[in-house]
Amino acid sequence: MLLELSSVSRRFGGLLAVADLSMTVEPGTIHGLIGPNGAGKSTVFNLITGVIPLTAGEILFKRARISGLRPSEICRRGVARTFQATALFREYTVLQNVLIGAHLLAAPGLAPALFRSRSYRERERQARGRGRALLESLGLGAVASQVAGQLPHRDQKALALAMALATGAELVILDEPLAGLTAQERAETTGVLRRLREQGTTVLLVEHDMKAVMGVCDTVTVLDHGVRIAGGTPREIQTNPAVIEAYLGVEEPGA
């Protein structure tokens, strides 16, 4: 397995947002994390990427513990993410946004930037080439030099994905990649996700659009009130009584 959460809990004051959650993500799959509002899905993402610390449990990536590390270190190990409210560098151009993501390619430290060593220039050139190729593949090639804050919603979503991919991550964690998109744009995005899977990138996503999740995901984990109530293939999930109860509620007998 690529990612493993074992008995992960997170408490906010009196609220147990995530309770004793264990789940695994297999490499080369698209894994969906679903659940009603307030189920703790975004909290799980924040825990995996180190944005907030765990209260208990541990998270392993490629069998090495990543819980407790800084978000930047977790990214360096190969886990990148997008945010629910699309987070971009709004004043920068599209290409500059991707270049921040591609910085792992760049020479670290002050001295190379100051003296413009040959290796610095070479690595910057590579980063830019890779950034451009990435933008092309996500349909952003034409807007590469536009300011990110002025892009339409669909392009901002795609750019956020491009930034995460630019880090070279093996696992990308997407918080509602389809939210606010038209039916056609959703189809395009799910196409992109399938292509990523073919290229060997593992995807973990939170999404509300049940139809899209069931269509694109290989495995699904269902959360409710911070507790994992089901897991399995989309087909298994759709017929699981606990899931149906969480989403639709169950009529009291005789009511």
- Based on the shown chain and the rule CB under 8 A, indicate whether residue 67 belongs to the binding site for other proteins: no
Give the helix ranges, DSSP H, for the chain: 41-48, 71-77, 94-101, 110-115, 118-137, 153-166, 183-198, 210-216, 234-238, 241-248
Cα distance between residue 127 and residue 101, in whole Å: 9
Binder of other proteins out of 33, 75, 143, 193 (CB under 8 A): 75
Q: Is the dihedral of CA 27, 200, 121, 140 positive or negative?
A: negative
Phi, then psi, of 227 in degrees rounded to 5: -115, 140
Judge contact between 25 and 33, C-beta under 8 A.
Answer: no
| 235 contacts other proteins (rule: CB under 8 A) | no
- Closest distance between other proteins and the C-beta of residue 232, in Å? 29
Under rule CB under 8 A, residue 51 binds other proteins: yes
Does residue 106 bind other proteins (CB under 8 A)? yes
- Which one of 111-119, 180-188, 193-201, 229-237 is the stretch in contact with other proteins (CB under 8 A)? 111-119
The binder of other proteins chosen from 5, 25, 159, 163 (CB under 8 A) = 163
- 64 touching other proteins, by CB under 8 A: no
68 binds other proteins (CB under 8 A): no
Tokens encoding 120: 């610095």
- Between residues 111 and 183, which has the closer beta carbon with respect to other proteins? 111
Q: Which of residues 84-103 bind other proteins (CB under 8 A)?
A: 87-93, 95-96, 99-101, 103
For 13-21, the CB contacts below 8 A with 24+ separation are 16/226, 17/43, 17/226, 18/43, 18/44, 18/47, 18/223, 18/226, 19/225, 19/226, 19/227, 20/56, 20/57, 20/227, 21/57, 21/223, 21/226, 21/227, 21/228
The contact pattern for other proteins, residues 21-50, with x = CB under 8 A and - = no contact, is ----------------------------x-
| Min separation Cβ 2 and other proteins, Å | 18
Rounded distance between C-alpha atoms, residue 17 and residue 41, angstroms: 9
CB neighbours of residue 47 within 10 Å: 24
Q: Quick one: which segment of 59-67, 74-82, 229-237, 246-254 binds other proteins (CB under 8 A)?
A: 74-82
Q: Based on the shown chain and the rule CB under 8 A, indicate whether residue 240 belongs to the binding site for other proteins.
A: no
Q: Which residues sit at the interface with other proteins, rule CB under 8 A?
A: 49, 51, 70-73, 75-76, 80-81, 83, 87-93, 95-96, 99-101, 103-104, 106, 110, 113-114, 116, 124, 128, 145, 163-164, 166-167
